Structure 1
Amino acid sequence: MNLLFLGTPDFAVPTLKALHASHHTVQAVVTQPDRPKGRGRAAQPPPVKEFAMAHGLDVLQPDKASAPDFVETLKPFQPDLIVVIAYGQLLKPNFLELPKHFCMNIHASILPKYRGAAPINWALINGETESGVTTMKIDPGLDSGDVLLIRKVRIGPDDTAQDLHDALAAAGAELALETIAQLDAGTLSSTPQNHDAATFARKLKKEDGFLYWNQPTQRLHDLVRGLNPWPGAYTFLNGQRLKLFRTETAPGTQTDEPGAVVRVTPYGIEVGTGDDRLILTGLQPEGKKKMSAQEFLAGHSVQIGDRFESAPHPINSK
């Protein structure tokens, strides 16, 4: 089949790689414009563009994919199918009419659960034990089109958002090829979503990462997992902001108080919560690199009875 591909971040690269290596033809790659990043704020190409350029694929970077003039530039391609994964824009009807068959999206959840921008993070934050990828026909709504195929992926108890991201990116590439193969063979069917069962995974903000210590231990552990690597769960100790990227759960005692340090070892700092204890094993002081609890304790004094703050400070949300 002749394919147009739309995608932007790392998550989309395995699918583009699989399509490029297949017997199908990727006619062109559409991705977001280069954006300023880093301290120097120099414009950086998105990961999909880097892969496409390295493999000789034509790259198009419109501000709006559904802009009438850009849609006109795509019409001569006459694609059989348009494959979309983590592109970053809703596509309008004029764009959706381009391919012979339809526009197909690969979404990082088992639809209709976790429609929206951050399905990987919210699945972990909410303590799910299973996620997956869904291929679907794109309609003008937000991840609301008919479902084609689903592949489920188990979530481990200590998996982070990065772990699940990588697993789902690989599964998405495989499912995209399987979906296209069934379409090519004439055996692909679709199923309307149950919109009443839909849940939404809104875009994350830095403020979502604050740990309220009166919450249950498992809830705090899931928050740390779900926000690793970005935007990061955080707390404050002695007025200093401290990111947490690795934690474990442990039984508590009746005398434990939420936010209070109850035990300090080279392995981890044990803190009281709303029910048990959270062990802080991977930390990052503001402006410093990530470090183990042992490395952190070598340069910071933490005593039993010290308290992590229960209310967040204002932070830069950009």
Structure 2
Amino acid sequence: MPLCRNIASSPSPLIAPTTPDEAGIARAAKALKAGQLVAFPTETVYGLGGDATSDTAVAAIFKAKGRPRFNPLIVHVADKEAAETLVDFDECARKLAEAFWPGALTLVLPRRNDCPVSLLASAGLHSLALRVPAHGVALDLLAEFARPVAAPSANPSGTISPTTASHVAASLGDAVALILDGGPCAIGLESTVIGLTGDAPLLLRPGGVTAEKVEAVTGPLDRPETGSDAAPSSPGRLLQHYAPARPLRLNAEDIIPGEALLSFGPHAITGAAAECNLSPGGDLTEAAANLFAMLRELDRPVHTAIAVMAVPETGLGLAINDRLRRATNPVATPQEPTP
């Protein structure tokens, strides 16, 4: 059974992605050294990379994304040793890095006094968000560039995160010097973010590593209450985030005429104008990998809104529901469809 039905074809991308072979990686590293932006794949989502040590390059990331300056960026490094030159590690950080790096876990740690990363990347905070990606293309690029790379998701701020090179090309176009095409992202959700600047580890953002796995290393995590849109202490903390243009209606049990449906599990609601099923078999890993791509597929002007069936709040479902809640458009009234 196809996972999506009644979906029109997408427009052609504005920029052709680059093959991430040795020559492509070299071109990308050269572009970064010239202060340009490069989109590259990770196991979570595609990143919009710039030289993390350059104020100008980091400012270009904010400009390309239209991103609020108070929202920190995640800095990607090649390995734990590179991370330790930028931030102060404690025992908890070392255990987490050993358990989950390379991987979908970001650690927010105190900056070292000699940290060369632009203060713009950490929004002027005395902390820095770091991770080592688990993707061959990303690691090859980091090795070739030999500097930290600031890289939020490669999409306009507040919109759906990209999980393919074509998503990046369609949304950012010539704002990037080139796009390294590593195929679809394996996880499809951003990294889990753990804050380690206080007395106890904080789950700042659920993501690709489940809270249960993290707690097996750290013990119980503190969970800060959802606040306002005031300056966030880590990436991914804005209340309005990951949003399609069409409003979302969560935990839907029926269909309002004109709505598309984002379903989950074998018993989908009938009557939707179009449908994508995150996982017909109810697999949360498959659902996470499909989430952003399917939101993009359903986010069409012909639909008034997107109805979303309930997803369990367990394991990766915690991260899926976090993204869906942050993607909920504040406009509650469905719009008239347009041709």
Please give the range of the TM-score, normalised by the shorter of the 2 chains.
Answer: under 0.3
TM, length-normalised to structure 2:
0.25
Larger relative strand fraction: 1
TM, length-normalised to structure 1:
0.26
Say which one has the larger Rg.
Answer: 1
